[in-house]
């Protein structure tokens, strides 16, 4: 979070658009056999042969989706890739290629974009993804990032949102709410920094939360874990907007209701302690926090024994008939209707 003001700054206009693209992408290697032509022509050429191609895209805007005060550019680049890979993994598919378009105002020197692309490259290297296209242009205000991911899968392996059945178990990977609390911690530190720039923050007790916010990992491993367990989920979605919102998506897509059990929600100890510190209800944090990039899926009751006790997965509820509604069953055994927050609230705040 501490910037070295002495570093060199190269104005983007020295490179031009094509020079800039070349400069930023020349160290990206092609690792996928299916990439026939990457950056440098009108379009990339992909050969997925008899496999199905998957495509997903996200637009990330400074001041809306990220704040560069506490999001280092390298982390932003990494996260922008993760957000898209997560969507491909949520189809039970393999992610293979991305395109990245950026628009920047003149306050960004070349070195800033190099940082951004270093994060994108780290993500590509770690997840074996080929960068195959994109463009750069100027913006009037801040940084805009648009990432599109392609993936591939045999048709029989693809998992949609609409395949859940009555009585299916609702399962989530990892744990919930940490990314949201990480953002709260960073926001508080920024306010402290504004008041006293010399005070060094002690963030040791929040490391997991901050990492989940700044460097989320897309759950590439879940597809393999499930295959090893011989489970094909009946429906699946990734958790970007918060558990509640995604549970509602799955239910509506599959025309079902659902009971989610409060005492089954997987929470990291840092989530519990930090929720208390912020006077927040950790259940509300887990339900509405968002940006966890875990996978939420349904499986047949017959697969219960395969998942039970697996440290990667938590069974948090089960699907019910549509007319029974979508509920949280609290520790006190009360039923409360689940409601989604997130984007709507954000848009209203943007007025």
- Please enumerate in sequence order all residues whose Cβ is within 8 A of that of 313, keeping only pairs 6 or more positions apart, or say none: 171, 172, 173, 225, 307
How does DSSP assign 165-196, residue by residue? -TTPEEEEES-SSHHHHHHHHHHHHHHHHHH-
Q: Which is nearer to a second copy, 142 or 201 (CB)?
A: 142
Taking CB under 8 A as the criterion, which residues in 152-191 touch a second copy?
153, 155, 158, 160-162
Query: What distance in Å separates the CA atoms of residue 316 and residue 205, rounded to the nearest whole number?
Result: 27
Choose the binding region for a second copy from 176-184, 195-203, 256-264, 342-350 (rule: CB under 8 A).
342-350
CB of 58 to a second copy, least distance (A): 6
Choose the binding region for a second copy from 71-79, 109-117, 138-146, 310-318 (rule: CB under 8 A).
138-146
Q: Note the residue count of the chain.
A: 351
Site string for a second copy, 74-113 (x = CB under 8 A): ------------xxx-xx-x---x-x-xxx-xx-------
Q: Considering the rule CB under 8 A, would residue 135 count as an interface residue with a second copy?
A: yes
Closest CA to 84 of 141, 183, 93: 93
Residue 97 β-bridge partners: 130, 150
Q: Considering the rule CB under 8 A, would residue 67 count as an interface residue with a second copy?
A: no
Beta strand 326-329 with 256-261: parallel, antiparallel or unpaired? parallel
- Residue 120, H or E segment: helix 110-127
Choose the binding region for a second copy from 72-80, 116-124, 141-149, 280-288 (rule: CB under 8 A).
141-149
Q: Considering the rule CB under 8 A, would residue 31 count as an interface residue with a second copy?
A: no
Q: Which is nearer to a second copy, 54 or 271 (CB)?
A: 54
Binding test (CB under 8 A) with a second copy, winner from 231, 237, 247, 316: 237
Q: Which is nearer to a second copy, 65 or 220 (CB)?
A: 65
Taking CB under 8 A as the criterion, which residues in 296-315 touch a second copy?
none
Tokens, residue 82: 């993760």
Q: Considering the rule CB under 8 A, would residue 52 count as an interface residue with a second copy?
A: yes
Q: Considering the rule CB under 8 A, would residue 281 count as an interface residue with a second copy?
A: no
Task: Number of residues interacting with a second copy: please give it, by CB under 8 A.
Answer: 78
CB of 105 to a second copy, least distance (A): 7
Residue 298 β-bridge partners: 170, 235
Binding test (CB under 8 A) with a second copy, winner from 9, 13, 27, 276: 13
CB of 195 to a second copy, least distance (A): 25
- Please enumerate in sequence order all residues whose Cβ is within 8 A of that of 153, keeping only pairs 6 or more positions apart, or say none: 51, 52, 54, 91, 92, 93, 94
Q: Considering the rule CB under 8 A, would residue 49 count as an interface residue with a second copy?
A: yes
Query: What distance in Å separates the CA atoms of residue 260 and residue 170, rounded to the nearest whole number?
Result: 8
* Cα R_g (the chain), whole angstroms: 21
């Amino acid at each position: 979070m501490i910037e070295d003001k002495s570093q060199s700054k190269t104005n983007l206009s020295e490179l031009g658009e094509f020079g800039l693209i070349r400069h930023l992408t020349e160290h990206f290697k092609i690792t996928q056999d299916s990439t026939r032509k990457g950056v440098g022509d009108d379009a990339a050429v992909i050969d997925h042969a008899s496999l199905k191609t998957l495509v997903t895209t996200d637009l990330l805007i400074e001041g809306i989706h990220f704040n560069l005060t506490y999001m280092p550019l390298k982390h932003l680049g990494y996260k922008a890739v993760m957000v898209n890979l997560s969507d491909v993994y949520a189809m039970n598919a393999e992610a293979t290629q991305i395109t990245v378009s950026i628009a920047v105002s003149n306050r960004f020197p070349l070195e800033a974009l190099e940082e951004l692309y270093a994060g994108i490259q780290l993500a590509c290297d770690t997840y074996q993804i080929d960068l195959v296209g994109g463009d750069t242009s100027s913006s009037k205000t801040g940084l805009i990032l648009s990432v599109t991911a392609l993936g591939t899968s045999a048709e029989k392996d693809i998992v949609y949102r609409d395949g859940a059945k009555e009585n299916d178990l609702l399962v989530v990977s990892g744990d919930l709410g940490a990314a949201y609390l990480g953002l709260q911690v960073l926001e508080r530190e920024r306010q402290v920094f504004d008041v006293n720039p010399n005070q060094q923050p002690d963030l040791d007790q929040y490391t997991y939360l901050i990492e989940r916010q700044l460097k989320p990992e897309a759950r590439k491993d879940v597809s393999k874990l499930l295959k090893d367990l011989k489970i094909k989920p009946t429906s699946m979605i990734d958790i970007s907007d918060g558990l509640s919102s995604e549970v509602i998506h799955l239910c509506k897509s599959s025309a079902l209701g659902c009971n989610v059990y409060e005492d089954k929600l997987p929470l990291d100890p840092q989530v519990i302690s930090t929720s208390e510190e912020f006077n927040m209800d950790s259940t509300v944090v887990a339900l509405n926090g968002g940006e966890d990039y875990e996978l939420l899926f349904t499986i047949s009751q017959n697969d219960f024994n395969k998942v039970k006790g697996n440290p990667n997965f938590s069974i948090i509820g089960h699907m019910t008939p549509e007319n029974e509604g979508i509920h949280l069953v609290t520790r006190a055994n009360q039923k409360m209707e689940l409601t989604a927050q997130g984007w709507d609230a954000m848009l209203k705040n943007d007025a």
